[in-house]
Chains A and B, each alone.
Chain A
Amino acid sequence: TQLLEQSPQFLSIQEGENLTVYCNSSSVFSSLQWYRQEPGEGPVLLVTVVTGGEVKKLKRLTFQFGDARKDSSLHITAAQTGDTGLYLCAGRSNFGNEKLTFGTGTRLTIIP
């Protein structure tokens, strides 16, 4: 069974600070995605990383896939209150259209 552990589980920081969220596994993934989920809504895809060591930027969010494709990180620069939400990593072992294995989630709260 593949597991994706996210840390920290909860994070509260002041607006304007930087933060990093981690997604770790002992398994290798062919691709890894990051989603954000707001209360009462389904997860919304932020990014997909495929290549070991890959870095992708989405405005103030920087995503990195580990060299061995077992872990990933999400770094937010100058956090804003609109970044508040549940951040989920999710991986696939093989090709597309197979099931996603979701991580345990990081609930982020940005304090004004």
Chain B
Amino acid sequence: EPEVTQTPSHQVTQMGQEVILRCVPISNHLYFYWYRQILGQKVEFLVSFYNNEISEKSEIFDDQFSVERPDGSNFTLKIRSTKLEDSAMYFCASSEPGRGLYEKLFFGSGTQLSVL
């Protein structure tokens, strides 16, 4: 079965540094998402992306965050100046069009971000 791939699997960075998390969604999918899961807490929505623009974002997704689909295959999440509280597992997800309420999100295996 096709899968969403994320790199790196682990990223350690110093507070204040920029990080870019990378994702390759499933090739025929048109909707892309970033979610995160802080250790021991629930999965939280960050942002959704469709037709080369953000369609929805949460309160977590402030000016320090940005997303990009630079080349038609990759989907990236950038955090400009990381904070300790950004430490979490970040999941990329994608879905195909036309399924409405039965939309199925395919999640990647995640990038564990640790901010020191």
The binding surface of chain A is classed by DSSP as loop
Interface residues of B in 60-116 (CB under 8 A from A): 91, 93, 95, 97, 99-105, 107-110
**Complex-state Cα separation, A16 to B110, whole angstroms:** 32
Interface residues of A in 28-60 (CB under 8 A from B): 30-31, 40-45, 48, 50
Interface residues of B in 17-35 (CB under 8 A from A): 31, 33, 35
Question: Which residue in chain B gives the minimum CB-CB distance to A97?
Answer: B31
Q: 1/0 per position for A80-112, CB-CB distance to B under 8 A?
A: 000000001010100111111111110000000
Contact A99 B110, beta carbon cutoff 8 Å:
no
Give chain B residues whose Cβ lies under 8 Å from the Cβ of A45.
104-105
Give chain B residues whose Cβ lies under 8 Å from the Cβ of A31.
101-102
**Are A42 and B91 also in contact (CB < 8 A) when A97-B31, A99-B58, A100-B45 are?**
yes
Return A111 CB to nearest CB of chain B, in Å: 22
How many A-B contacts if CB must be within 8 Å? 64
Q: How large is the interface on B (under 10, 10 to 19, 20 to 34, 35 or more residues)?
A: 20 to 34
**Complex-state Cα separation, A40 to B95, whole angstroms:** 21
Contact B101 A50, beta carbon cutoff 8 Å:
yes
Q: Which of B43, B99, B102 has the most CB of A within 10 A?
A: B43
**Are A96 and B103 also in contact (CB < 8 A) when A103-B42, A104-B42 are?**
yes
**Complex-state Cα separation, A90 to B55, whole angstroms:** 19
Return A15 CB to nearest CB of chain B, in Å: 27
User: Can you spell out 19 A-B residue pairs with CB atoms less than 8 angstroms apart?
Assistant: A31-B102, A40-B109, A40-B110, A42-B4, A42-B93, A42-B107, A42-B108, A43-B91, A44-B107, A48-B104, A88-B43, A95-B101, A96-B99, A96-B100, A99-B56, A99-B58, A102-B42, A102-B44, A105-B42
